[in-house]
Amino acid sequence: MRAIFMGNPEFALPTLKALLSSRHDVVAVVSNPPKPIGRGRKLRSTAVGQFAKENNLNLIETESLKSAELHDQLSALKPDVFVVVAYRILPKSLIDLPKYGAVNLHASLLPKYRGAGPIQWSLMNGDKTTGVTVFQINPWVDRGEILLQKEMDIFPDDDMLSLGMRLCNAGANLIVDALDRLENGTIHSWPQKNDLAISAPKITMEMTVINWTWPAEKIHNWIRGLSPRPGMSTTLNGKNFRIYKTKVLDMGNGRSGEIKKIKNDEMVVSTGKGALSLMEVQAEGKRKMPIGDFLHGAVIQVGDRLGE
């Protein structure tokens, strides 16, 4: 099939690479235009855009998906299908353009976790399993008919990065399988059960502030879901303090946020139920580091309280 790939971040790259290695023909890649990054405000393409340039692919960088110019440009390529991964909401005029419409890779088992943060919310909610879904895009976000799904385990030490990498790699193979079956007519889609839908809204900065009155298990899961980006934050001695990795301890309750123990390379903090051993942190103005490195230069003591 003649496929046009649409995507932006690194999560989308395994699918693009899998398509390029398949029998299908990637006739164009669509991505967001470069944006100024860092202090020097140097223009940088998306991960997908950069890969397309490095591999001499037919790259279309566009801000507007509704322009007649883009529609005509894509139509002239005579695509059989659009493959969309971590991109944007397509207007109906584009969805209807290819013979087989547009298919999307979503990092959950739809209809669970519709929305922008499926990987984060599966971890934040302490789920033991998740998966990937390939579905047919329609005008309603994440509600199209399901083509294929693959269930996967969530490991106890997973964070957003490790789980995301496994999901995007599994999803890449699933996309190729879906296109093969679409082309030979052996795929059988099924509608989503809307009554089972669960939302996975975009993460806001307000969500990244640790509430130390929560149980240790809940805080731990939220830290997993928001690491390595943007990380969960609190304050220590009045300064910003980010926490990226923890371990749940079955200890008696103390004052929420209070440092219960500092010994060698260990720092234990009380929560609303149980305690957390902090393992990877970042003090304000410092790099991310193991807790032992932080403790070697930190001026803190048992009884100090985080979040005050």
d(CA 203, CA 200): 9
Q: What percent of the chain has pLDDT over 90?
A: 95
Question: Are 35 and 172 in a shared domain?
Answer: yes
Domain boundary (178, 196, 214) is at 196
Q: CB count, 10 Å around CB of 193?
A: 10
pTM over 0.75? The answer is yes
On average, the pLDDT of the chain sits at 97
Any domain includes 215? yes
> At 297, is the pLDDT very low, low, confident or very high (cuts 50, 70, 90)?
confident
d(CA 199, CA 186): 31
The residue with greater pLDDT, 308 or 68, is 68
Question: Are 66 and 25 in a shared domain?
Answer: yes
Q: Quick one: pLDDT at residue 206? A: 96
Does the pLDDT of residue 245 top 90, yes or no?
yes
Domain boundary (176, 196, 216) is at 196
Task: List pLDDT tens digits, range 143-176.
Answer: 999 999 999 999 999 999 999 999 999 999 999 9
Question: Are 36 and 163 in a shared domain?
Answer: yes
> At 50, is the pLDDT very low, low, confident or very high (cuts 50, 70, 90)?
very high
Question: Are 151 and 285 in a shared domain?
Answer: no
Q: What is the CATH number of the domain that holds 152?
A: 3.40.50.170
d(CA 86, CA 159): 19
Q: What percent of the chain has pLDDT over 70?
A: 100
What are phi and psi for residue 264, nearest 5 degrees? 55, -115
* Sign of the dihedral through C-alpha 120, 126, 127, 128: positive
∠ at Cα 237 (235, 243), nearest 5°? 35
Question: Do residues 96 and 137 lie in contact, with contact meaning Cβ atoms separated by under 8 Å?
Answer: no
Give the total number of structural domains in the chain. Answer: 2
Q: Which domain holds residue 175?
A: 2-196
Domain boundary (162, 196, 230) is at 196
Question: Are 188 and 213 in a shared domain?
Answer: no
Paired strand residues for 258? 305
> For the packed helices 13-21 and 160-184, what is the interaxial angle rounded to 10 degrees?
40
Can you read off the two tokens belonging to residue 45? Answer: 């393409």
∠ at Cα 73 (18, 175), nearest 5°? 20
Can you read off the two tokens belonging to residue 9? Answer: 């971040």
Can you read off the two tokens belonging to residue 46? Answer: 């998306």
Any domain includes 302? no
What are phi and psi for residue 216, nearest 5 degrees? -55, -40
Q: Quick one: pLDDT at residue 199? A: 98
Helix, strand, coil shares of the chain, percent, nearest 5, are 30, 30, 40
Does the pLDDT of residue 252 top 90, yes or no?
no
Question: Are 156 and 54 in a shared domain?
Answer: yes
Question: Tell me, what DSSP letter sits at residue 11?
Answer: G
Any domain includes 308? no
